[in-house]
Structure 1
Amino acid sequence: MFTCTGPVIEWRGPAPFVFLAVPEDDSDDIKDASRGQEYWGQVAVDVRIGETDFRTALFPKDGRYLVPLKVAVRRAEGIEVGQELTATLQLASRGEPRVG
């Protein structure tokens, strides 16, 4: 299990996406722990932010991972772009039932 704190960022593509940027040191630790579990560079994780639990896949970008933050999660936890956010990440195997 990993606990990390980083900035909430917006990445504009065809549509805006909001992510938690995982610090590089934490990203390196996650990459080491997830060897053999990644799929096209993405890593499945169970995430806890505040009182909200959800499953997603970390996106690799510029030497670190990004945690996608769905609108429902952002609303539930009052998350805004630019704030510092702390999340707990648990590696999840594909096909494994979500815990929590």
Structure 2
Amino acid sequence: MRIEFESEVTRWSARVDSWFFATLPEDLSLEIRELPAPPRGFGSLRVRARIGLTSWDTSIFFSGTAFVLPLKKQVRDAQGIEEGGVVLVDLDILEV
């Protein structure tokens, strides 16, 4: 399943080392939750993500009302992504 969405980049600073995320739209997240997928820790799903020319394999996690995509430092640096910026994400869900 291939998805494209835009998201503001947010920081989760509950830990000393800050984590940055793109959040999938709530309606899309609800559709994804209905897909048959093998059970994984934290309700995660394996995905291949792309922002600009950078692609990577990771997982999305359901958090509250939507899935979130972690944006690792290598990706943020390569694409000039900063907190509060808006990113266009192409996402392939690998487990359905």
Q: TM-score, normalised by structure 1?
A: 0.84
Question: Which fold has the larger relative contact order, with Cα–Cα distance below 8 Å and residues 6 or more apart in sequence?
Answer: 2
The 1:23–1:38 alpha-carbon spacing in structure 2 relative to 1, beyond 3 Å, is farther
Q: Distance in 2 between matches of 1:58 and 1:3?
A: 14
Over the matched positions of the two proteins, sequence identity in percent amounts to: 29
Q: Which residue type is aligned with residue 12 of structure 1?
A: S
Indicate the residue corresponding to 1:8 in structure 2: 9
Name the CA distance, whole Å, in 1 between partners of 2:27 and 2:8.
Answer: 14
Q: Distance in 2 between matches of 1:44 and 1:5?
A: 19
Matches within 5 A, 1:1-100: 1-14=2-15, 15-33=17-35, 35-40=36-41, 41-93=43-95
Runs of 4+ in 1 over 3 A off after TM superposition: none
Per-residue CA deviation, residues 12-67 of structure 1 (Å, 9 max, x unaligned), is 1222100001110121222223x223413001000011100101110111110110
Q: Give TM-score scaled by structure 2 length.
A: 0.87
In structure 2, the residue corresponding to 1:87 is in which secondary structure? strand
